[in-house]
């Protein structure tokens, strides 16, 4: 009977531990659910704030672009009034500027080619000069070796 009593007590203790664990798990689940709901609401609020800020920024950018366009058009109109020239004159001016720019580009291309040729010539002259210097150094080194070493060894050096 003591065995039954101890088994019953053990079952009761086990049952109580399981119930406590279930209550703790339920409490944790409720807390977690509440935290998830709070986080979700915070995220929604942040998304809404970002949407509003994006819309405001978009409106500001559009406004600035519109203002820039108006300023540019006003300056063009003011320039037209100052110059007092017709549409035909504008076309002629455009063609003149275009032709002049093409001439400048052409001159720059020619200048670039000339510079490349000059650099190439300098490089070739420098290479030739280095070769001559190397030959002179080699010759003078061989002469010095001939003076220092006996005649027998100098024939081996020349080879």
Max CA separation in the chain (angstroms): 125
Residue 4 and residue 12 in contact, taking contact as beta carbons nearer than 8 Å: no
| Residuewise pLDDT in 10s, the chain (159 residues) | 556 666 677 677 777 877 777 777 777 777 777 777 787 788 788 878 877 887 788 778 788 878 878 887 787 777 777 777 777 877 887 788 788 888 888 888 888 888 878 877 877 777 777 777 877 787 777 777 777 765 554 455 555
CB 146 within 8 A of CB 154: yes
| Nearest residue to 148 (alpha-carbon basis) of 128, 50, 140 | 140
101 and 109 in contact (C-beta within 8 Å)? no
Whole-prediction pTM: 0.37
The whole-angstrom separation of Cα 101 and Cα 80 is 22
């Amino acid at each position: 009977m003591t065995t039954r009593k101890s088994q019953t007590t053990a079952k009761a203790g086990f049952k109580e531990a399981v119930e406590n664990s279930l209550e703790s798990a339920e409490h944790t689940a409720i807390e977690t659910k509440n935290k998830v709901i709070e986080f979700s609401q915070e995220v929604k609020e942040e998304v809404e704030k970002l949407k509003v800020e994006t819309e405001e920024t978009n409106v500001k950018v559009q406004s600035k672009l519109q203002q820039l366009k108006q300023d540019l058009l006003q300056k063009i109109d003011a320039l037209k009034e100052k110059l007092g020239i017709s549409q035909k004159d504008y076309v002629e001016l455009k063609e003149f500027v275009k032709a002049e720019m093409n001439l400048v580009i052409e001159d720059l291309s020619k200048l670039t080619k000339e510079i490349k040729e000059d650099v190439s010539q300098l490089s070739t002259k420098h290479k030739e000069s280095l070769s001559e210097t190397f030959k002179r150094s080699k010759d003078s080194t061989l002469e010095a070796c001939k003076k220092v070493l006996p005649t027998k060894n100098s024939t081996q050096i020349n080879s």
